[in-house]
Structure 1
Amino acid sequence: MAIVERATVRSGIEVRSAGGVLVAGLALIWGSNFLWIKVALGAFSPVQLTVARMVLGALVLLVVVAVRRERLPRGVGVWGHLVVAALVANAVPYLLFAVGETRVDSGVAGALNATTPLWTLLFGRVRLAGRRVAGLVLGFGGALAIFAPWSAGAIDTLGALYCLLAAVSYGLSYQYLSRFLAPRDLSPTVLSAGQLVAASGLTALALPLDTAGVPGWAPGPWAALAVLGVVGTGLAFVVNYALIRSEGAVGASVVTYLVPVASVGLGFVVLGETLPAWTVAGVAGVLAGVWLSRSRRLGE
């Protein structure tokens, strides 16, 4: 019995460790996405940017699926769920964030993105222990402290609303993916590829309505688009599906709390940006909130 108990504890530690690695990796990838979006908007319209990153992400994953000799789903029911998932997890929030960042700073967009776990919790209507709820609230407060959007001067209300609605859509998507797609006997790569193929088709429908001209050539925006599509969209969604399977909807969504931590950390290490006292306090709050919200003793 003691051997079984030790094996069970060891297994639980390994699962938590793997989940932690996925959370950290995805936070690092997504933490830079708002920067790539801002840079890419220098040459692309929001619609062009959204379509291009979807297509790039889909192409990368289709190549991976082919190399691994896997197949895309064939059932009509699965594709129906993939289309809905593509709408709420990709097409709608990606476009809203791109439009929003034409009016607000990337920091404000990142802070509003940090409301995602709260929306995930609301849509899930699940019972959580008090400590886990406290962790979600603490993490959100820490994310706000990191970006301190109130110190950036007047914030464009409409731009902020676009970003907030994108976070709402993300929250809904976590619950939808967790319920209808993640439990299926399909690899995260196959599910991600199918979803991004569907998202590419959905967003392409908006191209005839876009009044922007042909994107101009500038190395910065095109490089930012390449990173955003290949890494920040394609590879990131494979990790996202794996995380939802191992952590559940609410547990996986707390990665958005670490996104500002990654963003601020990259700015400090790469760009030599300063770290005000409230930013350091915000990082501490985020880490404490994530620890509370991910505690296995608290249940889902």
Structure 2
Amino acid sequence: MIDQKSISLRAWAELTLLGLIWGASFLAIRVALDELPVLTTVLHRTFWAMLVLWAVVLARRLPIPRSPRVWGAFLVMGLLNNAIPFGLMAWGQLYIESGLAAILNAATAIFGVTLAAIVFADERLTPARLLGVGLGFFGVVTTIGLGNLAQLDLRSGAQLAVLGGAFSYACASVWARLNLGGLPPLVAAAGMLTGSTLLIVPATLLVDGVPSLALAPATWAAIGYYGLVATAGAYLLYYRILAMAGSGNLMLVTLLIPPVAIALGAAVRAEALPPRAFTGFALLALGLLILNIASRHRRD
């Protein structure tokens, strides 16, 4: 078990690196969407990452599960942690800025703490955690704007889609704890990506048709980045940090992602966010910091 109070300099460096990798993935996905439809974009992400992770699993000679129950759990996990959130967030990025999508994605941690408190007896909402969750939700509402929530246009719909993806990530974390405990993390990640790929292939063929490989170099570069680096590579890094620093400290990566996405979106695509987005992120960040401090009083 990891003591939440201890985190090494190496863990901080790798945590920062993970934040940079995931922050840049929002720009890469947006670049791919210039040429690819949404489901094809998602299929490229899960398929190539799946191949890389299975290669690592085989190279390390990790045991591959044979139980149909486990593979069924992989299928549900792939739906909740990949197919639904990747699809919703990619569609959302067609109509909102990359930085805004990254800010709303940070609500994953808020949703995760709330769902865990509902499902697990050992994850109750203490006063400090309740304060953090409340600030986080207030930050989300501020980012979107109450007036925009009442409008039924593509921009407000896109923001809600990204939030839907964040909520799906939170559901996936609960599902993983209930059904995938005891498995090597890399095997679970490879199995999850296999499940999501099996779901996305028929959906892509039905909606987008057979994917073309005759793509612009910039599109292939974007696919290579978000599929190999920001998905397969990020999973490998994620589990290293989890082992070194614990889940409470790992939550801090959500604070690093939006600034990276905002800066890259502004520099590469001239994206500009409304002032309320920065105010909302500040409130969301404060809520996440409070949740992190509260987690230091527990053992992972």
Alignment match of 2:191 (pick from 191, 194, 201)? 194
Identity rate, percent: 30
- Mean Cα displacement is larger for which, 58-67 or 276-285? 276-285
Note the alpha carbon deviations across 1:114-161, whole angstroms, 9 max, x for none.
22122212322232222233334445666788xx566xx986232223
Task: Summarize the Cα distance change of 1:96–1:280 in structure 2 as closer, same or farther, 3 Å threshold.
Answer: closer
Q: What is residue 3 of structure 1 aligned with on the other side?
A: none
Deviation at 1:201, TM superposition (A): 1.1
Is 1:263 equivalent to 2:255 in the alignment?
Answer: no
Matches within 5 A, 1:1-300: 13-14=5-6, 23-124=15-116, 125=118, 126-138=123-135, 156-181=155-180, 183-184=181-182, 186-211=183-208, 214=212, 217-241=215-239, 247-248=246-247, 255-264=253-262, 288-295=286-293, 296-299=295-298
Query: Is this contact kept in 1: 2:100–2:277, CA < 8 A?
Result: no
Unaligned runs of 5+ in 2: none
- Mean Cα displacement is larger for which, 54-63 or 260-269? 260-269
Q: Give the distance between the partners of 1:190 and 1:238, measured in 2 at CA.
A: 11
Query: Is this contact kept in 1: 2:75–2:192, CA < 8 A?
Result: yes
Query: Is this contact kept in 1: 2:112–2:171, CA < 8 A?
Result: yes
Task: Summarize the Cα distance change of 1:214–1:242 in structure 2 as closer, same or farther, 3 Å threshold.
Answer: same
Q: Give the distance between the partners of 1:24 and 1:286, measured in 2 at CA.
A: 19
| Superposition TM-score, scaled by structure 1 size | 0.77
CA RMSD of aligned residues (A): 3.7
Task: Summarize the Cα distance change of 1:265–1:132 in structure 2 as closer, same or farther, 3 Å threshold.
Answer: farther
Unaligned runs of 5+ in 1: 1-7
- Secondary structure of 2:34's partner? coil
Matched to 1:36, the amino acid is A
Query: Is this contact kept in 2: 1:143–1:257, CA < 8 A?
Result: no
- Mean Cα displacement is larger for which, 19-28 or 124-133? 19-28
Deviation at 1:45, TM superposition (A): 0.8
Note the alpha carbon deviations across 1:169-220, whole angstroms, 9 max, x for none.
1111122223322x31x33222211111221111112122124673652111
Note the alpha carbon deviations across 1:19-45, whole angstroms, 9 max, x for none.
655643432222122111110011211
Task: Summarize the Cα distance change of 1:288–1:157 in structure 2 as closer, same or farther, 3 Å threshold.
Answer: closer
- Secondary structure of 1:156's partner? helix
Which structure is richer in relative contact order (CA contacts within 8 A, separation 6 or more)?
Answer: 2
Note the alpha carbon deviations across 1:29-77, whole angstroms, 9 max, x for none.
2212211111001121111111111011011112212222223222222
Matched to 2:193, the amino acid is L
Q: Give the distance between the partners of 2:159 and 2:272, measured in 1 at CA.
A: 25
Deviation at 1:243, TM superposition (A): 5.9
Q: Give the distance between the partners of 2:71 and 2:88, measured in 1 at CA.
A: 24
| Superposition TM-score, scaled by structure 2 size | 0.77
Task: Summarize the Cα distance change of 1:37–1:12 in structure 2 as closer, same or farther, 3 Å threshold.
Answer: closer
- Secondary structure of 1:73's partner? coil
Q: Give the distance between the partners of 1:208 and 1:273, measured in 2 at CA.
A: 32
Deviation at 1:107, TM superposition (A): 2.7
Task: Summarize the Cα distance change of 1:267–1:39 in structure 2 as closer, same or farther, 3 Å threshold.
Answer: closer
